[in-house]
Amino acid sequence: MKRINLTLALLGAIAIVPAAMAQEAPDHRFAVVGGYALSEPTGDASIAGGKADLDGEGAATLSASWYATDNIAIEAWGTDKFGHRVNGPNGKAGSVDAQPYALSGQYHFGTSEQTVRPYVGLGYYEMNYDGETVEATGPLAGQRLGVETAKGAMATVGADVKLSDRWFVRGDVRYLHGDSDLSLDGEKVGKADTSPVIVGLGVGARF
């Protein structure tokens, strides 16, 4: 099912390419950006009838883009693991590592000659959790807390600041909409609508 979802996302992202190819090709078709981002879950969660939430965390990021035209790009994006603390009604309920990756289509406004160039994007993401289980602590001590893979739509807004013909600085904000089932010792006990906002800053190069 994951492969089907990713295939559909890829097809949707490149659906704009045929019309875009009628435009003039850019000088640099590829871009790579490395940086750092902070992830802050915004949704609600519940464990065994009680409210829960995840603390925010930071991680390194990496993306690669292919420009069909000077304005339209397809981006593959991912991060290192975000280490989230899970807080339950009575304090810490455990911790989990979350690692998202995504594929999206982007529209970059203006031209590559501009110093500041904003863009927007829309795509599909999946959020994998390390081993999908972590050892619970506190009132849930001795049980296994499981977190299912989250998946859904991702929206991006950002801007590139040109440093030279090849180098640039990028700032972006991503919203990942999706939820996960939570389980204790393999039995479903709740749901987490994490839907994180991820704010990133990085340095990129086009070639």
What local confidence, expressed as pLDDT, does residue 152 receive?
96
What local confidence, expressed as pLDDT, does residue 120 receive?
98
Q: How would residue 196 be classed by pLDDT, with cut points 50, 70 and 90?
A: very high
What local confidence, expressed as pLDDT, does residue 62 receive?
98
Highest averaged pLDDT of the listed ranges 8-22, 64-78, 169-183: 64-78
More confident residue, 1 or 68: 68
* Count: domains in the chain: 1
Q: Residue 46: which residues within 8 A CB-CB, separation 6 or more?
A: 52, 182, 190, 191, 192
| Nearest to 194, CA basis, from 41, 14, 47 | 41
Q: What pTM value is reported for the model?
A: 0.81
**In degrees to the nearest 10, what's the CA dihedral of 154, 155, 159, 163?**
20
CA atoms within a 13 Å half-sphere pointing along the CA-CB vector of 82: 28
144-181, pLDDT tens digit by residue?
778 889 999 999 999 999 999 999 999 999 999 998 88
76-98, pLDDT tens digit by residue?
999 999 988 877 766 776 788 89
Q: How would residue 17 be classed by pLDDT, with cut points 50, 70 and 90?
A: very low
What's the one-letter identity of residue 77? W
Residue 25 sits in a domain whose CATH number is 2.40.160.20
More confident residue, 89 or 36: 36
Is the alpha carbon torsion for 12, 13, 19, 21 positive or negative? Answer: negative
The mean of the pLDDT values for the chain is 84
Q: Which domain holds residue 74?
A: 2-206
Highest averaged pLDDT of the listed ranges 18-22, 68-72, 137-141: 68-72
Largest CA distance in the chain: 62
DSSP 90: T
Q: How would residue 9 be classed by pLDDT, with cut points 50, 70 and 90?
A: low
Q: Residue 207: which residues within 8 A CB-CB, separation 6 or more?
A: 28, 30, 31, 166
